[in-house]
Chains A and B, each alone.
Chain A
Amino acid sequence: MSWERFAYFLDKTGSRWGLIAYVVLFFIYIFAPIVIVVGVSFTATSYVTFPPEGFSLQWFDRFFSYDAFTNSLIVSIEIAILSAICGCLIGVPAALALVRSRIKAANMITTFLLSPLSMPLIVTGFALLFFLSWMGLGVSFVSLLIAHTVVSLPYIVRTVAGVYRGVSPEYEESAAALGATRWSVFVHVTLPMIKPGIFAGALFAMLISIDNLPISYFFSSTSTNTLPVVMLAYLENQFDPAIAAASTVQLILAVIGLLLVERITGLDAMTPAG
């Protein structure tokens, strides 16, 4: 087929409606497995089946009565929140300083702070495990927290720097010129303006942390297992709807987190993160 005929063919068929139909199919592909898992979690059967037969909450009951699941869920939530807080404590001041920095290397430093995002997590996790063991921390809650903070830090730096770059220095300058101290400029002027960036970055970091298997895996022990680690171990041995229930619980938690952030800041802040 010649180029001209191919072009003609596409012109005739590649209409706007064709594109819309394609996009609809695309989103069916994206959401099918998710809808299926939520469906399976409510099944009344003792095996995985879709469409689910009957309706029951027995698999949620199973999830909440199985200690390995509930304990790991608590560890996951603790680590997600604490690593986001640590990431903010280290990352927010650095992002603010970098945006207004006159140092030539500022761009390079920003790239460096974002570099953990480009590293396969399994490499970071593997390397950190041996390093932290050498430091005497070994497999512990603190090690897990440090490892997760290494990953949460770049997300927070990126979103906060993105928001702060759009803030004119004049607000802070006016406040300072009117006699506000450095601290009160920070608390009353800078902080309220960058708050959406902090919350969006922290939310992103928490979502990544909750789903982080490659790092958590290396630091797993009975007291530091996170939910994905326990789910993977379970899935390697069994194939039953308990995994669907665990997934649904995790999804509900993520949605609650999203709604909380939305109430505080509005979702517009999420866009620079994407």
Chain B
Amino acid sequence: MTAADGGMAIPPSARPPRFGRARFYRSVSPWWIALAVIFLLVFFVLPLIDNIQRSIDLSTLLLPGTQQNYYAKLFLDPYYLRVTMVTVVLSVGVTAICVLVGYPVALFLVRHAGRWSGVVIFLLIAPLLTSIIMRTFGWQVLFARRGLFNQMLLGLDWIDKPLNLLGGPTPVVIGLVHVLVPFMVLSIASVLRSIDPQLEESARILGASKTKTFFKVTLPLSLDGIGTGSILVFLLVNGSFVTILLLGAGSMQTLPLLIYQQFNTTRDFGFAAAMSNVLLLVALVCLYLQLRLIRRRGTVGA
């Protein structure tokens, strides 16, 4: 049926001219699109392709004795393999925690905030006005040897001497979730808002408990929001290094941090390029998943 339609389609030029008003008024010429596309092709796509070339390092490939395969080093050397694993585990972990921490807030924003919803949205967006260094510094002050946490614990007589709270995964995860959870809340809320509350009411009338309604109706319907939010947060963790650098205090090594250090001290640009290509690949996979989700949401919404 569709194939036949496709075959029978009248080419646009052969269609009868439309009378009445033009279907679309175009305020700017479509050629303007070309300017933006060319700008990004030159200053975004070309540099990334150039980067792939740098990581393969053609000059050393020609001399077999000095050949250095950065990717073999990255995936076979136990140290770098561990760094890649830490990056992946950290990204997945922070994303999962953001879902758990953020979901109730999104639910509150959409279902219970009422006239306060504007305030809640403002409170979620307001931290964007502060720099990432400011927020990381705030956690450093809290976790410091003479910081608020240690003083509280000492005051409660739970500990005898100040603990070394900086370093290790805990402060890093707390800091990353802090920066990224608003994005998760907003993504989930935008999907929750599109769920008809009558569906939940029906489930309740038919005898489902509040909790059962949530797990059987609300949660499954909001999976798309969790999906978009997760991709966004995963990508952002995957590229962040400031929080890990300052709150990890040297105890944690991830790919972005290693790129930063390779550039800063070791100056092995080919290796840094190879690592950034791994991040690029992850980003492309995420972008693809994102597109598929958006497309699905588009059809579900229609």
Query: Which chain A residues have a beta carbon within 8 Å of chain B's beta carbons?
Result: 6-8, 10-11, 14, 16, 19-20, 22-23, 26-27, 29-34, 36-37, 40, 48-50, 90-91, 93-94, 96-98, 100-103, 109, 111-113, 115-116, 118-124, 126-128, 130-132, 134, 146-147, 149-150, 153, 157, 169, 172-173, 176-177, 182, 185-186, 189-190, 207, 210-211, 213-214, 217-218, 227-228, 231-232, 235, 239, 243-244, 247-248, 250-251, 254-255, 258, 270-271, 274
Contacts and interface: CB of A to CB of B under 8 A. Distances in A.
A97 to B, nearest CB: 5
Contacts of A123: 48, 51, 239, 259, 276, 279-280, 283
Given A120-B283, A123-B239, A255 B129 contact: yes
A126 B90 CA distance: 22
B3 interface: no
Contacts, number: 266
A169 B104 CA distance: 40
17 contacts: A23-B105, A33-B136, A94-B32, A96-B27, A97-B30, A119-B280, A120-B238, A123-B51, A126-B263, A127-B48, A127-B276, A130-B51, A210-B131, A211-B131, A214-B256, A239-B144, A244-B137
A36 B129 contact: no
A233 to B, nearest CB: 10
Contact of B33 (A40, A94, A254): A94
A120 B50 contact: no
B130 A90 contact: no
Nearest to B46: A131
Contact of A97 (B32, B140, B144, B276): B32
B300 to A, nearest CB: 17
A251 B263 CA distance: 29
Nearest to A244: B137
B21 A173 contact: yes
Q: Is the interface of A mostly helix, strand, loop or mixed?
A: helix
B37 interface: yes
A151 B281 CA distance: 19
A243 B26 contact: no
A120 B142 CA distance: 28
Given A102-B24, A111-B291, 12 more contacts: A7-B212, A10-B210, A49-B146, A96-B27, A120-B238, A120-B239, A122-B241, A153-B40, A227-B131, A228-B132, A247-B133, A274-B186
Contacts of A90: 35-36, 39
A122 B256 contact: yes
Contacts of A217: 260
B272 interface: yes
B44 A247 contact: no
A207 B128 contact: yes
Interface in B186-212: 186, 209-212
A162 B263 CA distance: 38
B135 interface: yes
Interface stretch (B61-69, B119-127, B217-225): B119-127
Contacts of B260: 122, 217
B108 interface: yes
